[in-house]
Amino acid sequence: MEKRKAIYPGSFDPVTNGHLDLIKSALSIFDEVIVVVAKNFGKNTLFTVKERVALIQKAVAGLKGVSVDSLDGLTVNYAVEKRAKTIIRGLRATSDFDYEFQMALTNRKLCKRVETIFLMPSESHFYLSSKLIKEIAVLGGNISEFVPPHVAVRLQEKLSRF
């Protein structure tokens, strides 16, 4: 029997406990989840793609069925290449919905064989975003409950250079 495989693309700058929550939820549905760090041309990222991949790899090290990769092209093409039939996207609030729905419909138009599903993080992580966590860190706030410990350390190191 063919494994149920999904990809979870995002910028993950940095990976948060909300992202990890979605990965764990996806593992309850899929046999394999590939977390894909996308080079997002519309975002100014703090961490390089290589750094983000390393941070996620450490964060998911104990999760069976999860791998981490990066991509520099269309998500649907990557999904086809990896034989994944599903793209996972997270929804936190209604403000996410318009953008995510537009992207899902565009991906469907590009490749009908790949479907998008939306997952919501648990209530304890619903409000988290990488952008918000970076803002809190820049202003000297405690981010330890929002990100894995190694991510908090790397974020503080990175921000101390500014």
Active-site residue set = 19, 43, 92, 130
DSSP bridge pairs for 37: 10, 70
Q: Domain limits of the chain?
A: 5-159
pLDDT of residue 162 exceeding 70:
no
Report the side by side order of strands in the sheet with 86-90. Answer: 66-71, 32-38, 5-10, 86-90, 115-119
- pTM value is 0.93
Chain segment 98-143, per-residue pLDDT in tens: 889 999 999 999 999 999 999 988 887 777 788 899 999 999 899 9
pLDDT of residue 13: 95
Q: What pLDDT is attached to residue 160? A: 78
Bridge-based pairing state of the strands 32-38 and 86-90: unpaired
Percent of the chain beyond pLDDT 70?
A: 98
Which is the CATH superfamily of the domain at 5-159? HUPs (3.40.50.620)
pLDDT averaged over every residue in the chain: 92
pLDDT for 19-37, tens place per residue?
Answer: 999 999 999 999 999 999 9
